[in-house]
Chains A and B, each alone.
Chain A
Amino acid sequence: MLEIKNLKTYIDTENGTVKAVDDVSFQIKAGETICIVGESGSGKSVLAHSIMQLNPSPPAFHPEGEILFEGKNLLDVSEKELRRVRGNEISMIFQDPMSSLNPVFRVGDQLIEAIRSHEKVSKKAAKKRALELLTDVGIPDPERRLHDYPHQFSGGMRQRVLIAIALAGRPKVLIADEPTTALDVTIQAQILELMRSIQKKYGTAIILITHDLGVVAQIADRVLVMYSGRIVEKGSVSDIFYRSTMPYTWSLLRSLPRIDSDASNRLIPIQGQPSNLIDRPKGCHFQPRCPFATKACLEIDPSLTERGEGHWAACILSEEEFFNKKQEFEVNAQKGAVK
Chain B
Amino acid sequence: MSEPLLELKDIKMYFPIKEKVFKKPVNHVKAVNGVSLTVRQGETLGIVGESGCGKSTLARTIVGLLEPSSGDILFEGKSILGYNKKQMHELRRDIQMVYQDPYTSLNPRMKAGEIIAAPLKAFKMTSNLNERVYELLDLVGLKREDAEKFPHQFSGGQRQRIGIARALALNPKLLILDEPVSALDVSVQAQVINLLEDLQEELGLTYVFIAHDLSVIKHIADKVAVMYLGKVMELSDSDTLYHHSKHPYTNALLSAIPLPDPEKERQRQRIMLKGELPSPANPPTGCIFHTRCPIAQESCKQHIPVLEEKDGSNPNHQVACFYPQETEAIVSSN
Contact = CB atoms under 8 A, between A and B. Distances in A.
A252 B190 CA distance: 10
A212 B262 contact: no
B215 A270 contact: no
A258 B262 contact: no
Dominant secondary structure of chain B at its interface with chain A: helix
A259 B242 contact: yes
A228 to B, nearest CB: 12
B261 interface: yes
* Range class of the B interface residue count: 35 or more
A268 interface: yes
A185 interface: yes
Interface in A40-57: 40
Contacts of A267: 190, 193-194, 219
A10 interface: no
Nearest to B218: A263
A237 interface: yes
A203 interface: no
B50 A214 contact: no
A256 B242 contact: no
B187 A185 contact: no
Contacts of A187: 276
Given A259-B242, A261-B334, A274-B185, A188 B190 contact: no
Interface in B254-288: 254, 256-266, 270, 272-273, 276-277
Interface string A217-231: 110100000000000
B51 to A, nearest CB: 6
B50 A186 contact: yes
A151 to B, nearest CB: 13
B21 to A, nearest CB: 23
A185 B212 contact: yes
A10 to B, nearest CB: 22
Interface string B227-244: 000000000001100100
Given A188-B256, A189-B256, A260 B186 contact: no
Interface in A252-278: 252-253, 255-263, 266-271, 273-274
Contacts of B252: 186
Nearest to B264: A260
A260 B332 contact: yes
Given A259-B215, A259-B242, A260-B333, A186 B190 contact: no
A184 interface: yes
Nearest to B212: A184
A148 interface: no
A188 B266 CA distance: 16
Nearest to B191: A269
Nearest to A192: B258
A286 to B, nearest CB: 11
A257 B51 contact: no
B9 to A, nearest CB: 29
B35 interface: no
A40 B266 CA distance: 27
Given A184-B51, A185-B50, A261-B334, A256 B185 contact: no
Contact of A186 (B219, B256, B260, B332): B256
A269 B188 contact: yes
A294 interface: no
Interface in B181-202: 185-191, 193-194, 197
Contacts of B277: 154, 184
B81 to A, nearest CB: 32
Closest 9 CB pairs of A and B: A214-B258, A269-B190, A184-B50, A267-B190, A213-B260, A269-B191, A270-B187, A255-B190, A39-B185
17 contacts: A40-B156, A154-B277, A185-B256, A214-B257, A218-B266, A241-B262, A257-B213, A260-B261, A260-B333, A261-B333, A267-B194, A268-B190, A269-B190, A269-B194, A270-B188, A273-B157, A274-B188
Given A193-B272, A241-B260, A263-B219, 13 more contacts: A39-B185, A185-B214, A185-B253, A186-B50, A186-B273, A189-B270, A212-B186, A241-B261, A251-B187, A252-B186, A255-B189, A260-B332, A263-B238
Interface of B: 50-51, 155-158, 185-191, 193-194, 197, 212-216, 218-219, 238-239, 242, 252-254, 256-266, 270, 272-273, 276-277, 331-334
Interface of A: 39-40, 154, 156-157, 184-190, 192-193, 211-218, 220, 237-238, 241, 251-253, 255-263, 266-271, 273-274, 289
